[in-house]
Chains A and B, each alone.
Chain A
Amino acid sequence: MTDVIETAPTSPDPRDRGGPAQPMLIVENIKKYFPIRAGLLNKKVAEVKAVDDISFYVLKGETLGIVGESGCGKSTLARLLMYLIEKDEGHLVLDGDPVGEKTGTSLDGLRRSLQMVFQDSYSSLNPRLPIEASIAYGPKVQGTREKAAKEQARALLEKVGLKAERFGQRYPHELSGGQKQRVNIARALALDPRLLILDEAVSALDKSVEAQVLNLLGDLKEQLNLTYIFISHDLHVVKYISDRVLVMYLGQVVEIGPVDDIYSNPMHPYTAALLACQLSMDPDERVESAPLAGDPPNPVNPPSGCRFHTRCPYVEDVCMSKMPSLGDTLRADPGEHLAACHMVHAGSGHSKAPNPDSRPLPLWQGETR
């Protein structure tokens, strides 16, 4: 747990308001249900529970990894944090200031502090603009003069490892995937953000290019005093880059904790199964049956009780009727490891739950690699 504290920036940042102990971002009970409309009158017939009551915080200077299967709401969460879609409920607190309320940070302030790198490097750059113009656009919008913005864009290109005079005037289709992703990072950095949300930012890249971009992200983080929220479904990469990890399933957080604890001692069966899905490089270590069967259930009608019960090997009656609680993620210490599973909570009624007086010690921890 000390590991987490150590990553907080040592030199004071002039943009810092709340002090090093104040989390960079606090997300409180955020919720987004997408209406499904049908029929002539566009009546709402159902709701996709894309993000369902999520709370967590990100410390200054740390990297929070978010993992989960596709469709579990990772991108929706990222877009909610960026105010790209309207949240139904919940609050954001940016470095001590509530966002979008009279007393706190304005939306513009949030946008300057929070930037996002999108997954699809193809669609995230305007195909008809030279990349230099794409990067300079944000600062121009925020009032920087045309010439200064251009200069800054060129400096940023150099910073992400692209020669400005060779690449500045190119169009996105003239760049490779890795180069485009570098441009995306440069664009996100143009507003001098403090927190960068990376939504599957390296997932579409070749392995060798992925390593280049990850190195770049590491260097930039140090130089620019950045905090990262790193969304990915590649658990190897998340393990490499994150300080803490948050595991999502069907719009909810099922487990959160320091990266090493989660990887060596997953407490939620879903996390354990995800970890077992990592492939070994050894042809002799083949997976004979898939650790996770089937697809995630439809988020329109999530299963009752524990949402994972339809795929959980340890399911018992109590799981179907009662939703396990994760605990208070906002009060919890950064080093604390929380999981929303009845097997972890003493007295939950699950046969594998620990005795009220002994430490929880999950039985399945030996099964993961």
Chain B
Amino acid sequence: MNEMRSPDLSQVEAQNEKPDAYVKVKDLQVRFVSREATVKAVNGVSFELKKGEVLCVIGESGSGKSVMMRSLMQLHPKKRTRITGEMKIGEHDIMTATDKQMSELRGSTVSMIFQEPMTALDPLYTIGDQIAETVMRHEKVDRDAGWKRALELLELVRVPSPERRLKAYPHELSGGLRQRAMIAVALSCRPSLLLADEPTTALDASVQIQVLVLLRKLQREMGMSMIFVTHDLGVAAQIADKVAVMYAGRIIEYGNARDVLMHPEHPYTRAMLSSTIKDQKKGAQLETIAGTPPDLRALPDGCSFAPRCRYAGPDCFETMPDEVTDGRGHMARCAKVNVVRGLLAFEPGIPAAPALA
């Protein structure tokens, strides 16, 4: 049996682990142009991710999380999308990759799982067919080998009675099993980077944990890097090494999961944390973030959170604040955050009246 087909996924990636960044994104900008308006979906995102690390991207709906992920796989319609900046996955330069190179990268180097497995799986083919097909295409093996791998993969993602499930169509599976099947498809060619776009949002809390525990385990065993999008801070706490908070197409806070989730400094992250319902007193008025996210067709100058920020001062409306990073790599993009004794600290100054009342 050839080495490529060996079922042990853990060894393959663990060997070439390197300390330096595996995924490098620098000043990524994504614009969708149409006759009516230009949507500025991503506005200068930079981050680095090491081998085997998990980055969680959190943010409200429409903050550009999915668009950023899809650019890493060049999944946007070419005609209407303008992408600038740098994107590198290992030695592959995503910005300059041709369509042919890209389709080879997809699945084998970088692969993606989605929120709604029903739309990502083909309803007309069985689960086994779909996994085997992917394996056959990428590894140039025959049908039997493909099916054999499909079975191994379903076992890997702990689908009960995998032989039977191989012959099932997507609609015959429950939400949790479908999500596992999609993970199996995504892992079929042992990607070194897994992009997960809210893979547990549509699931019940009980099944969500099962999938999270599974993903975390597989990620560790295979030494994969992972970018995981969610808007649930609890989910991020379960899986993230690093957390990036996105707002209006920018990363406004970044750092170790613990720092960002337990001691957020940016007013937006803080507001998001306090509006999350968790053991609030029954019937008490909940804290909310006033207003709605900015219109990406007409972004304001200055800090994009300023119209909703209760600490906003006059200068916040003028220029976009720079990134402030402390010694632990905790970054926030807010005019009122400084490094104090080596740590980020938010200093509102004169307690401001809420921007909106």
B-binding residues in A (CB < 8 A): 69-71, 176-178, 206-212, 214-215, 218, 233-237, 239-241, 259, 273-274, 277-295
Tell me the nearest residue of chain A to B234, going by C-beta. Answer: A279
For residue B322, give the distance in angstroms from its CB to the closest CB of chain A: 25
Taking a contact as CB atoms under 8 Å apart, the answer to whether A240 and B277 are in contact is yes
Known: A215-B285, A279-B238, A290-B206. A210 touches B277 (CB 8 A): yes
Residues on the B chain within 8 Å of A290, using CB = 206, 209-210, 213
Instruction: Tell me if B209 and A287 are in contact (CB < 8 A).
Output: yes
What 11 additional pairs, Cβ within 8 angstroms, besides A280-B234, A281-B237?
A215-B288, A240-B280, A277-B206, A278-B205, A279-B232, A279-B234, A281-B262, A283-B238, A283-B258, A287-B213, A288-B213
| CB proximity of A250 to chain B, nearest CB, Å | 13
Contact of B237 among A70, A71, A207, A282 (CB under 8 A): A282
Determine whether the beta carbon of B160 is less than 8 Å from that of A294: yes
A236 and B209 contact, CB distance less than 8 A: no
Are A234 and B206 interface neighbours, CB within 8 A?
Answer: no
Report yes or no: A211 in contact with B288, Cβ–Cβ below 8 A.
yes
Q: Is the CB of A281 within 8 A of B233?
A: yes
Q: Could you tell me the distance between the alpha carbons of A295 and B258 in the complex, rounded to whole angstroms? A: 31
What separation, in Å, do the CA atoms of A215 and B174 have in the docked complex?
34
Are B231 and A206 closer than 8 Å at their CB atoms?
Answer: yes
Contact in complex: A176, B209 (CB < 8 Å): no
Q: Whose C-beta in chain B lies nearest to the C-beta of A289?
A: B213
The residue in chain B whose Cβ has the minimal distance to the Cβ of A212 is: B288
Tell me what chain A mostly uses at the interface: helix, strand, loop, or mixed: loop
Out of B60, B174, B275, which one reaches A211, CB within 8 Å?
B275
Number of interface residues of B (CB under 8 A): 46
A-B contact pairs, 11 of them (CB 8 A): A69-B207, A70-B175, A70-B204, A207-B233, A211-B275, A211-B276, A212-B286, A215-B286, A274-B206, A277-B206, A283-B237
Contact (Cβ within 8 A) A282 B262: yes
The residue of chain A having its C-beta at the shortest distance from the C-beta of B289 within the complex is A208
B212 cross-chain contacts in A, Cβ below 8 A = 287
With known contacts A289-B213, A290-B206, A292-B206, A208–B288 Cβ distance under 8 A = yes
> Inside 8 A of A278's CB, which chain B residues have their CB?
205, 234
Contact A283 B209 (CB under 8 A): no
- Chain B residues with CB under 8 Å of chain A are 60-62, 160, 174-177, 204-210, 212-213, 231-235, 237-238, 240, 257-258, 261-262, 271-273, 275-280, 282-283, 285-289, 292
- Contact among A208, A215, A273 for B60, CB-based, below 8 A: A208
From residue A157, how far is it (CB to closest CB) to chain B in Å?
A: 16
Cβ of B292 and Cβ of A176 under 8 Å apart? Answer: yes
Q: With a CB–CB cut-off of 8 A, which chain A residues contact B174?
A: 71, 295
CB pair B287 A206 closer than 8 Å:
no
Residues of A within 8 A of B208 (CB): 277
Chain B residues in 8 Å Cβ range of A240: 277, 280, 282-283, 286
CA distance A290 to B212 in the complex (A): 9
The one of A71, A236, A241, A289 in contact with B278, judged by C-beta atoms closer than 8 angstroms, is A236
Complex A-B, nearest 9 residue pairs according to Cβ-Cβ distance, in ascending order:
A279-B234, A292-B206, A211-B286, A211-B275, A277-B205, A290-B210, A283-B257, A208-B289, A208-B275
Kindly provide the distance from the CB of B171 to the nearest chain A CB, expressed in whole angstroms: 14
A211 touches B210 (CB 8 A): no
Distance (whole angstroms) from the CB of B117 to the closest CB of chain A: 14
Known: A176-B292, A240-B277, A280-B237. A69 touches B258 (CB 8 A): no
Contact present for B176 and A207 (CB under 8 Å):
no
- B343, chain A: closest CB distance, angstroms: 18
- In the assembled complex, the Cα of A188 lies from the Cα of B257 at a distance in Å of 41
Distance to closest chain A CB from B4 (angstroms): 32
Residues of B within 8 A of A215 (CB): 285-286, 288
Contacts of B213 in A (CB 8 A): 287-290
CA distance A233 to B206 in the complex (A): 10
Given contacts A292-B206, A295-B174, contact A279 B282 (CB under 8 A): no
CA distance A212 to B206 in the complex (A): 26
B244 to chain A, nearest CB (A): 14
- Bound together, the chains give a CA A241 to CA B212 distance in angstroms of 27
